[in-house]
Structure 1
Amino acid sequence: MKTRLAASALAVVAAPLAAQDLSTTLPDAVGQVAPKLETYAQNDLFGSVWSDEQLSMRDRALVTFAAKLTRNETDSLSEHVALALDAGVTPAEISETITHLAFYSGWGNAVAAAESAAPVFEERGVSSEDLPAEDPELLPLDEDAEAERQDFVQSTYGDVSQGVVDNTEELLFRDLWLRPALDPRDRSLVTVAALIAAGQPEQMTFHLNRAMDNGLTQDEAGAMLSHLAFYTGWPRVFSAMPVAKDVFESRRQ
C-alpha cells in the first residue's frame, strides 16, 4: 500500500525533514486496524526517538534506510529514500550505501533498493553527475592494520575458502571501504546497522570497534541501538547489546 507520504516525499523540492513529518510514513491502515500502534509510532517513535539529539536526524535516516534495505522492506523503501534526502543524506551517499550493503546484506537486497530509489532520484532530478564515480581516487589504506586483519583471516580461514579470503581483501578492504563517496564513519554506521537488522551480532565486535575508530561516539552507538529496536525488533537489539557492552568496556581499558 502506498503511504500518505508518496505524493509529497517524491517532490523535486522538499522542505527539510522534521520529526513531526515522519508520521506521514504510516499507512492509513495502521490507524484503522491498530490504533494503539499508531499512537506508539506518533508519540514514541516519531515524537521522541527520532528527535533525540544523541544521534542526528540525518544519521537516523541513514541507519533506517540501511536497516530497511537489509530487511528487504521494499514497500516503504522509496519513502525512506526521500526522507533520507530531506534529512541531508546526499544522492551519492544513498547510492554508495546501496553498493556497500550489497556485500553485507546480499546482492538481491541491494538491487531491490536500487529499484526503490530510482523513481525518487528521477523525480528529484538526480543525474549521473550526482552519483559516485565508478573508479575514484581511493582513500589511503592503513597498511599495518590491513596486514594484521588479512593475516588473521588467512590463517583462520584460508583452508576453508581461499576465494572468500581473497575477495574480502581485494574487493572489500582494498577497494569498497576506501571509496570516498561515503565517509568511513558512515560506512561503518550502515554496516553495524545492517548487522543488527540481519540478526548477526557475532560480526559486530570488529565493525563497532571500527565505527568508533572512525569517529562514532559511544552515545551515538547507544542511540543507534535504541533507534533500531523499533525497526528491527527488540530481540535483535538485545542480541546486539552484549556485544556493544563488551566493545564499550574494552575501549575504556
Structure 2
Amino acid sequence: MDIKDVSAGSPALARYEEEALFQGAWQRPALSQRDRSIVTLAALITRGQTDALVFYTRYALDHGVTPREISEIATHLAFYSGWCNGTAAAITVGTVFAERGIAADQLPPASPNLLSLDQAAEEQRALTVEQMVGPIAPGLVEDTGAVLFRDLWLRPDLAPRDRSIVTVAALITSGQFVQIGFHLGRAMDNGLTRMEASEMVSHLAYYAGWPNAFSAVPVVKSVFETRAE
C-alpha cells in the first residue's frame, strides 16, 4: 500500500492518511505503536481485507509484533471473525513471513503446552453460558468450553492481554456490541488500562469506521463505570 497509489485515486484521502492517520492517530502516546499494530491487524482480518494486511503485517513486524504473535492473531480470529477470514489471513501473513525469511520454527507449534487455567473463573463462565445457551445450542456450549476457553485462550504465544485486545478489536470492528462488555472486562483483568481501551476505540474509528467506534462507546462507558465502583 503506497500513499502515491492512494493519491492517484483520491488526493484528499492520501492527505488524510498521511496527516490524520499516520502523523496523527498512530503517534498518540496513549497506545503504543506495537499495540496499534495488533489492533489494526485484528480489524483487517475481521473485515477480510487481505490486500491491506500485507502492508500492515510488515508494519507490525517493524513495530515489535513477533511472527509468533502475528500467527496467533490469525489463529485466534478464525474463531472470532469466521474461519475463512482466519485461514485467508494465515495465507496472507505467510507470504510476508516468506518474504522476510521467517521459517516455521519461528512460529507457534500446533499443540503447545498450555497456560494454567483459572479454574474458578472458568467454572463461572461455563455456568453462565450453560444457563443462557445450553437449552438452545448445547454443541455451542461444548465447543466454547473445550475449544475456546480450555484451549485457544490458553495458547502461550499471545499474551492474555494481547489476546483480549485482539478479541475486543474484532468485536468492535464487526459491530458485535453485545459481546464487548464481557471481553473488555476480561481485557482489563488481563492488564489493559482504561486509557489504552479508550484509545483502541479512537484508533478503530479509522479501520472499522466511525459508526462502529461511536456505537461501541456506550458499552465501553458501562464497563468503565462498573469497574469504578
For Structure 1 versus Structure 2, the TM-score category normalised by the shorter chain is over 0.9
1:146 maps to which of 122, 125, 134: 122
1:77 aligned to 2:53?
Answer: yes
> Residue deviations 1:152-193, cap 9 Å, x none?
111121110110000000000001001100000000000000
User: What is the alpha-carbon distance in structure 2 between the residues aligned to residue 124 and residue 75 of structure 1?
Assistant: 17
Task: State which of 155, 176, 187 in structure 2 corresponds to 1:200.
Answer: 176
Q: Distance in 1 between matches of 2:25 and 2:128?
A: 39
CA distance in 1, matches of 2:189, 2:146: 22
Shift of 1:48: 1.1
Match of 2:96 in 1: 120
Matches within 5 A, 1:1-253: 3-4=1-2, 26=3, 28-253=4-229
Mind listing any 5+ residue stretches in structure 2 that lack a counterpart? none
Number of residue-to-residue matches in the alignment = 229
- By how many angstroms is 1:29 displaced? 3.7
Q: CA RMSD in A?
A: 0.9
Distance in 2 (alpha carbons) for counterparts of 1:169 and 1:162: 11
Q: Are 2:75 and 2:90, in contact at CA under 8 Å, matched by a contact in 1? A: no
Rounded to whole Å, the distance in 2 between the matches of 1:158 and 1:231 is 35
Counterpart CA distance in 2 for 1:132 and 1:243 is: 34
1:189-222 CA-to-partner distances (Å, cap 9, x unmatched) read 0000000111111100000000000000000001
TM-score w.r.t. structure 2 length? 0.98
| Partner amino acid, structure 2, of 1:206 | F
Which shifted more, 134-143 or 168-177? 134-143
How many Å apart are 1:76 and its aligned residue?
A: 1.2
Distance in 1, matches of 2:91 and 2:153, equals 23
Q: Deviations over 1:114-151 (max 9, x none)?
A: 12111110111111110112221111111111101101
Percent identity reads: 53
Moved over 2 A (4+): none
Distance 1:39 1:124 in 2: 30
